Amino acid sequence: MKRLNLRKTHVAIGLIILSIMLLLWFSVRKRIVLITPAPTILFEDVQGRFIAELSQDSRRNGYWPVPHEIPSKILAATLAAEDSRYYEHSGVDVRAILRALWQNIAHLQIVSGASTIPMQVARIQHPAERTIFHKITEAITATALVRVYGHNAVIRQYLRIAPYGCQNHGIVYAARKYFAKPVEDLTWAEASLLAALPKLPGRMNLYRFEGWHLATQRAIYVLNRLRKIGKITDAEYDEALSHLPALRPVQKEIRPSICLHAILQIEKKMRAAPAAWKKHDPIIRTSIDLDLQNDISSEAVLAMQELRRDGAGNIAVIVAEKETGNVIGYLGSEDFCDVDAKGGIDYAQVPRSSGSILKPFIYALGMQERGFTAATLLTDIGLPLDGCTGAYAFHNYDDSYLGPILYRNALANSRNIPAIQVLQAVGIDVTCRQFYDLGLIHQRIDPAYYGLGLAIGGLYVKLFDLVQAYGILANDGTPFKLHWYPERVAPPSHHIIPEDIARQISLFLSDPIARLPSFPRMGSLEYPFPVAVKTGTSKGFRDAWCVAYSKKYIVGVWVGHPDNYPMKRRAGADSAAKLVHRIMEKLHPEEMNGLSDNAFPPPRGYIAKRICMLSGKLATDNTQHTAYEWFRPGTEPVLESDVYRTVKIDARTGKPAGDRCPASVVKLKTYVVLDPRFADWAKQSGLELPPVDVIRTAGVPRLRSDPRLAVKEPPNGVRLLRDPETPPEYSTIPLQALVDPPVPQVVWYVDGEPYEVVDYPYSTRWKMLPGRHTFQIKLPYARLASEKARIIVK
């Protein structure tokens, strides 16, 4: 019976031991691996100054790879501090366990744990409560790790993941954070101090006096151990002891407040591709220049002090290198921490109404798709809309018109009406496709959604996307992307905008003469070195834009209000452009003397011709307003300008003198004879109109004898809504006609009845009445009449 009970006891004990072994096996089995956390990515500016760091775990930083050859000082100090017999045991040091057991019994408390480096690796990788079971698990895991990976791999793992205070892990990362140097350059004193930290990382905070004092006492212990085991000489020991009290960690690195929006964009880019973390070195040298960033921030603050009085609420700035696309300056708002101005919003990434800032791309598309040239004559006068839209006419932002205007001048003056003409000629669908290729539109939707307003603010864009699009222009039409740090970019294999057209647009935007009269000389848009610049202002002065590029840099600025409130007539030219100008000056200190080349390169193979600015034809000796324009051979004008016409006038009648007119009353007079479509503009501008007989004899003889009659305004099919707040006597619309060749008078008919006899250029006004109406012009005492224009007034 006793033997039976004893046998049962042995079986029970065996089962218990087996159960414990199985439990230990299942606990250890999955732990026999060296876990490598993703390293913290540290971002520096172009000069190596701290900007930010990015970790997968916001509570722990570091885990930087250890050099292939572990520095001798680091290895010796670590083993002296934690496990001097490391290479003599297989993961568990029995002698250390017995020594710890004796010390704990002698002191009646735990004063030593006897943990080896492999056991610490096991515990750091799988933290758990300090129980006997977990201690045994750590010991078994440690032995297995050494057996599977070897001593060298385990010590490297320890040096990569061990805690070094302030949530910093890994000695390579700790050397960078505390001493701003690589581990290979650490002195004996610095190495001993770092090796001391894993003992009590929570208490040894090197940025506090108590923690620093405790760490230095521990470092002295490490140095004593090093001398005792013969790893350092007496001379090295004395030098390290004298060096230790003088050690101080570098100032704790914090994110520069002026870079917070840039930092968030960099982190967003990195987090979008977590796999890229392992491909990068732990330290990434970004393109941000903190000196320039400070300058930009200071200039933005000064600008906002002035602009805030006129309703501006915030500002955004981007500065990039033209050739590489590297972002060297980025300001998402004036002050990230300004809650009232909603400074936490990155306005460089917020879509806002584009105003006129997209016109260069529309003009480039007109040259590409419709064959427009620098000599194309556009019309800067009232331009009716399709009546189905419910709107009546576009206007320029200054409510003035320049009449006939060359392609270059129309863009440089940022006129709205010519831009609408070009957009109409190109087509909204084609323009939307081009904007998609430029990165200004990110979703393909029905082009009718934007309408003709696409040219003057109908499209909402981000400053970031806008600078990238202008980078395409600046780089002769090749693809261009903004980068936060150096990246390998394949050479451009195609052009989004043809090179010759991109170069012409750059010439248009950099010519201060072409901006006259809308933008006077020596203003915010003119530089003493080549700069292509374009401004934009959205409806109601809610957004002010400016983007400029030189041969080296691209600068973009947005000014507006977070809540989309209008500013007090603050356009892009007198707000955003001023800040761009000051930034460009800082970027080009050597070019400010005005001695550099004052032009961008012309298109390859093009030829220059002197053009009449009022006709787009070749200038003659008596042409008063001329400009030199570049043309691809075969596209240049061939006819000479006939705008300036000298006529013999009978002083008695003011009409052309006949052959029988006495010489004493004949006077020579030079008229500017414009195309009939500009007659109303000339009259409204106060220009002296030539007699109709002079107009009829100007230009190329016509084959037909009857004039062509057409109603220009109101356009056929338009629907008009009367403003109930406007007094009836002021609720009128203009009536304009086109007669080619001109005649002295026409008769306006409204609803089939004679309305008014009007002299050249046939303009008058009609008081709106509700209902359906027809408009027509006829020649006096003749049957010749125009087609009827039908409108609806509600």
Per-residue pLDDT reduced to its tens digit, 82-127: 888 889 888 787 776 666 555 555 555 554 556 888 889 889 888 8
Q: Which residue carries 């045994």 as its tokens?
A: 136
Which of 535, 17, 490 has the alpha carbon at shortest distance from 481? 490
Asked if pLDDT for residue 749 goes beyond 50, the answer is: yes
Q: Are 266 and 43 in contact (CB under 8 A)?
A: yes
Helix (H) or strand (E) segment spanning residue 379: strand 377-380
Of the chain, the percentage scoring pLDDT greater than 70 comes to 85
What pLDDT score was predicted for residue 463?
A: 97
- pLDDT (tens digit, 9 = 90+) per residue, 15-62? 565 555 555 555 666 678 888 888 888 999 999 999 988 887 767 889
The answer for residues whose C-beta is within 8 angstroms of residue 348's C-beta and 6 or more apart is 261, 316, 317, 318, 330, 331, 332, 462, 463, 464, 558
| Structure-model confidence comparison of residues 276 and 371, the more confident one | 371
Q: Tell me the CA distances in angstroms from 276 to 50, 67, 197, one per residue in order.
A: 21, 21, 31
- CA torsion 168-173-177-181 (nearest 10°) is 160
Orientation of helix 188-196 relative to helix 234-243, angle to 10°: 70
pLDDT reported for residue 102: 58
Strands 61-62, 789-793: parallel, antiparallel or unpaired by DSSP? unpaired
Tokens describing residue 65: 């790879």
At 652 the pLDDT is: 81
Q: Distances from the Cα of 296 to the Cαs of 280, 580, 709, in angstroms?
A: 29, 10, 59
* The two structure tokens encoding residue 511: 């010519």
Of 329 and 399, more confident: 329
Please give the radius of gyration of the chain, using alpha carbons only, rounded to the nearest integer: 40
The packing angle between helices 151-161 and 171-179, to 10°, is: 40
**From CA 791, how far away is CA 794, in angstroms rounded?**
10
Pairwise CA distance, residues 269 & 272, whole Å = 5
Amino acid (1-letter code) at residue 377: L
Tens-place pLDDT, residues 205-236: 999 999 999 999 999 999 999 999 999 999 99
Mean pLDDT of 140-147: 86
Q: What is the pTM of this model?
A: 0.80
Residue 186 — pLDDT band, cuts 50, 70, 90? very high
| Residues in the chain, overall count | 794
Q: Kindly provide the b/e burial profile for residues 260-297, where b requires at least 16 CB atoms within 10 angstroms of the residue's own CB.
A: bbbbbbbbeebeeeeeebeeeebbbbbbbbbebbebbb
Tokens of 775: 């408009």
Tokens of 151: 């001593």
Do the beta carbons of residue 685 and residue 415 sit within 8 Å?
no
User: Who contacts 605 (Cβ-Cβ below 8 Å, separation ≥6)?
Assistant: 500, 632, 633
Angle, in degrees to the nearest 10, between helices 499-509 and 463-474: 110
pLDDT band at 703, cuts 50/70/90?
Answer: very low
**β-sheet bridge partners, residue 147:** none
Tell me the residue type at 80. Answer: A
How far apart are the C-alpha atoms of 422 and 407, rounded to whole Å? 10
Q: Is the pLDDT assigned to residue 562 strictly greater than 50? A: yes
Tell me the torsion sign for CA atoms 557, 561, 563, 565: negative
Amino acid 726: pLDDT: 61
Question: In the prediction, which pLDDT does 5 show?
Answer: 62
Give helix 171-179 / helix 188-196 axis angle, nearest 10°.
120
Is it true that the peptide bond before 724 is cis, omega within 30 degrees of 0? no
Do residues 451 and 350 make contact, with C-beta atoms less than 8 angstroms apart? no
Instruction: List the single range of 13-17, 351-355, 424-428, 705-709 with lowest mean pLDDT.
Output: 13-17
Q: What are phi and psi of 734, to 5 degrees?
A: -80, 145
Rounded Cα–Cα distance for residues 55 and 39 (Å): 7
Tell me how far apart the alpha carbons of residues 81 and 229 are, in angstroms, rounded to a whole number. 12
Look-up of token digits 């065996």 = 14
Residue 658 pLDDT level (bands cut at 50, 70, 90) = confident
Between the CA of residue 510 and those of 502, 536, 574, what are the distances in Å?
Answer: 12, 16, 17
pLDDT band at 70 (very low <50, low <70, confident <90, very high): very high
Helix then strand then coil, in percent of the chain rounded to 5, is 40, 20, 45
> What are phi and psi for residue 336, nearest 5 degrees?
-55, -35
* pLDDT score of 279: 61
* Cβ–Cβ under 8 Å, residues 151 and 83: no
- The pLDDT of 381-407, averaged and rounded, is 53
Backbone angles phi, psi at 532, to 5 degrees: -90, 125
- Assign 705 a pLDDT band (cuts: 50, 70, 90): low
Contact indicator for 608, 633 with CB cutoff of 8 Å: no
What is the per-residue pLDDT across 754-774, written as a single tens digit (0 to 9) for each? 999 988 888 888 888 889 999
Q: 511 CB contacts (<8 Å, ≥6 apart)? A: 408, 412
The residues near 392 (Cβ < 8 Å, ≥ 6 apart) are 384, 385, 718, 720, 733
Q: Are strands 327-331 and 383-384 parallel, antiparallel or unpaired?
A: unpaired
Indicate the average pLDDT of the chain.
Answer: 85
Position 315: which residue type?
I
Q: How far apart are CA 221 and CA 214, in angstroms?
A: 11
Written as six digits, the tokens of 593 are: 């003397």
Cβ-based neighbours of 156, under 8 Å, separated by 6 or more = 66, 70
- How far is 428 from 362, CA to CA, in rounded Å? 10
Query: For residue 200, which phi and psi values (nearest 5 degrees)?
Result: -140, 70
Q: Are 550 and 322 in contact (CB under 8 A)?
A: yes
* DSSP code at position 528: S
Q: Whole-angstrom Cα distance, residue 303 to residue 283? A: 35
Q: Give the Cα separation of 762 and 746 in Å (integer).
A: 7
pLDDT, one tens digit per residue, over 485-524 is 877 777 777 899 999 999 999 999 999 888 888 888 888 8
Q: What's the pLDDT score for residue 745? A: 87
Q: For the CA atoms of 599, 603, 605, 611, what is the dihedral angle to 10 degrees?
A: -70
Q: What is the pLDDT of residues 439-470, one digit of tens each?
A: 999 887 788 788 888 888 889 999 999 999 99
Q: Quick count: other Cβ atoms within 10 Å of Cβ 716? A: 15
Distance from C-alpha of 103 to C-alpha of 111, rounded to nearest angstrom: 7
Separation between Cα atoms, residue 311 and residue 306, nearest integer Å = 10
Phi/psi for 592 (5° steps) reads -70, -10
**DSSP assignment of 206-259:** TTSHHHHHHHHHHHHHHHHHHHHTTSS-HHHHHHHHHHGGG--PPPPP---GGG
Angle CA(417)–CA(419)–CA(424) in degrees, nearest 5?
Answer: 95
Q: Does 393 have pLDDT greater than 50?
A: no
Residue 383 has pLDDT above 50, yes or no: no
